[in-house]
Homo-oligomer: A and B are copies of this chain.
Amino acid sequence: MRDAPAPRARPTMEDVAARAGVSRALVSIVFRNQPGASEATRQRVRDVASKLGYAPDQRARLLGRKRTGQLGVAFGLQHGFHGELVEAMYAPAEHTGYELVLTGFAPSRSEGRAIDDLLAYRCEAVIVVGPTMRTRDLVALSKQLPTVVLARRVPGGAVDVVRTDDIDGARQATQHLIAQGHQRILHIDGGRAPGAAERRRGYRQSLVAAGLDPMPFIGGGLTEMDGARAGNTVAAMLRRRRGKPSAVFAFNDQCALGLLQAVGAAGFTVPDDLAVVGYDDSRVARLPWVELTTIGQDVRELAKKAVDQASARIHHPADRLETIVSPELVVRSTSRATKSPRR
């Protein structure tokens, strides 16, 4: 890049002004849709601009302005769910008058570096999607500029957070199974993953509230492999005479999928031998041969709240808020009662 030539020169506002026979300021007025230009002039300026292939230079634009009107978003390039959230942010951002600046993180590119980019662009606020960085770093960031953490819990109340109510989601899943007549319900947990602690709690609360005994957690995880491993454990339990489980609430859909696989391979039938509920309502959960009952997160709502909250924080830096969005149970065939009610 050392000896690179200057890039193809693109027309500036000056060029447009000259060709249209007006001042630079007037062109600026036209492009900002501000009052102060006649309709005829506006049209002329627009025509000239499009003839020249002119588009305002965003960098200069932002520099001159008091505010940048930019909202930075850092998200995981590998997480399909993050992509969905980002997509859903565009509409509310536009509506609120902000522009989104994206930066991705991944195993090969740390969250810190991604966020540095956003700082350099002078975003007015940042939305960090599902970060794994330490709470203290997030707190430090939030002292530098308004920060909203999306889809992750941050204890301490020092940072703005928008997330799904995982306790409620786990509760819905468990209560659904209870309502189906299940009494011995297992939870394949997510270990130290974000949300795992809440899901454990929601599961346990529901059982206790229904007068049932929580069963010990089975170590699970986030992936199909983790689920399959747990599934083997569950299959072993199913072979016992007494005390065998009749339903499982898995940490997420991928985990549930692995579990379904292992349990099926061991010769058991879902939902007759074992009902299964996942979490996330991912695409695979909807496949006709999977039809996994699951808990759906409200992507649209999460994205909108995150943008709104970032905007609110720009106006009132002192506040701090934790917004919790309710998830929704999606009943499919892995948990539907098929035969007689159980006892």
Contact = CB atoms under 8 A, between A and B. Distances in A.
A179 interface: no
Given A10-B122, A122-B10, A289-B261, A116 B311 contact: no
Interface in A69-85: 69, 77-80, 83-84
Contacts of A86: 77, 104
A339 to B, nearest CB: 21
A178 interface: no
Contact of A87 (B67, B106, B314): B106
Given A103-B102, A104-B102, A120-B57, A7 B91 contact: no
A91 B108 contact: yes
Interface in A55-111: 55-63, 66-69, 77-80, 83-84, 86-88, 90-91, 96-98, 102-104, 106-109
Contacts of A5: 314-315
Number of copies: 2
A27 B210 CA distance: 67
A53 interface: yes
Contact of A7 (B56, B60, B124, B228): B124
Contacts of A102: 102-104
A225 interface: yes
Interface in A109-131: 109, 116, 119-122, 124
Contacts of A119: 55
Contacts of A209: none
Contact of A77 (B67, B87, B228): B87
A316 to B, nearest CB: 9
Contacts of A208: none
A58 B69 CA distance: 15
A6 interface: yes
Interface string A208-221: 00000000000000
Contact of A97 (B1, B103, B106, B109): B1
A144 interface: yes
A40 interface: no
Contacts of A124: 7
A340 to B, nearest CB: 26
A83 B87 contact: no
Contacts of A122: 7, 10, 57-59
Interface of A: 1-2, 4-8, 10, 53, 55-63, 66-69, 77-80, 83-84, 86-88, 90-91, 96-98, 102-104, 106-109, 116, 119-122, 124, 144-145, 224-225, 228, 258, 261, 265, 284, 287-289, 311, 314-315, 317
